[in-house]
Amino acid sequence: MTRKPNLEAREKILKAALSLMRERGFNAVSMDDVARSAGIKKANLFHYFPTKEELGLAVFDFAAARVRDDVREQLSQGEDPIRQVSAMFAALQKSMGEGRCRGGCPIGNLAAELSDQYERIRKRIAACFQEWSGEVAASLERGRRDGYFRRDLKAGEAAEAILSLFEGATLMCKAKKDVKPLENARDMAVEYLRGYKR
């Protein structure tokens, strides 16, 4: 009979690993680092995650669930799809400002670091971006269908471009240690969408 996993201990490991990986990156964090940060023995860590790739997949899923919840909350802010998109940028801009432009988007960080190294993680990241883009597209499509936007707005293409602006601006914030790139990207996304307003 196999022992049931302790969900509280598993979450503690994932929180510790995510924090370390946001600070240092996936490749610079060892299983020893994670065990030490989580306050457990390395053997116990391997009970939950037999390999670092398995840990990386679990950390990604953990981070993606948080991002998914945040995006859904931002896209439920009122009926105005332009304000919803603006809220997505504003929330990260606030977070980046409070964190002195460290950390950024965990999904984007893992995408930049691991997409060429771990195919299973890359596929999971791509699916997450597709889901995220789909959530934004659904908001824009509702606006198009309800007559808020002109009929020629291509919601899917616009959503992917907006998400690309979001992730690119986040990387620039980290590099420049300034939130201005996110502010500029938000303004550009908003102006683009306003161009399609009826």
Digit-coded pLDDT (tens) for 150-161: 999 999 999 999
Tell me what pLDDT residue 1 has: 42
Q: Tell me if 150 sits within 8 A of 85, measured CB to CB.
A: no
Percent of the chain past pLDDT 70, that is, above it, reads 97
When the candidates are 1.10.3720.10, 1.10.10.60, 3.40.190.10, 1.20.1090.10, the CATH number that belongs to 1-50 is 1.10.10.60
C-alpha span between 152 and 37 (Å, rounded): 52
For domain 53-194, which architecture applies? Orthogonal Bundle (1.10)
Tens-place pLDDT, residues 80-114: 999 999 999 998 999 999 989 988 888 898 899 98
Tell me what pLDDT residue 5 has: 61
Q: Whole-number mean pLDDT of the chain?
A: 91
Q: Which residue in the block uniquely carries the two structure tokens 């997450």?
A: 128
**Could you tell me the pLDDT band of residue 67, with boundaries at 50, 70 and 90?**
confident
Tell me what pLDDT residue 13 has: 95
| Residue 79 Cα distances to 61, 88, 136, 153, 193, angstroms | 29, 14, 13, 17, 15
| pLDDT at 56 exceeding the cut of 60 | yes
- Taking each helix axis from N to C end, the angle separating 106-114 and 119-145, rounded to the nearest 10 degrees, works out to 140
Q: Indicate if 53-194 has the same CATH topology as 1-50.
A: no
As given in the structure block, the two tokens for residue 10 are 């598993």
User: Where in the chain are the domains?
Assistant: 1-50, 53-194
Tell me what pLDDT residue 134 has: 95
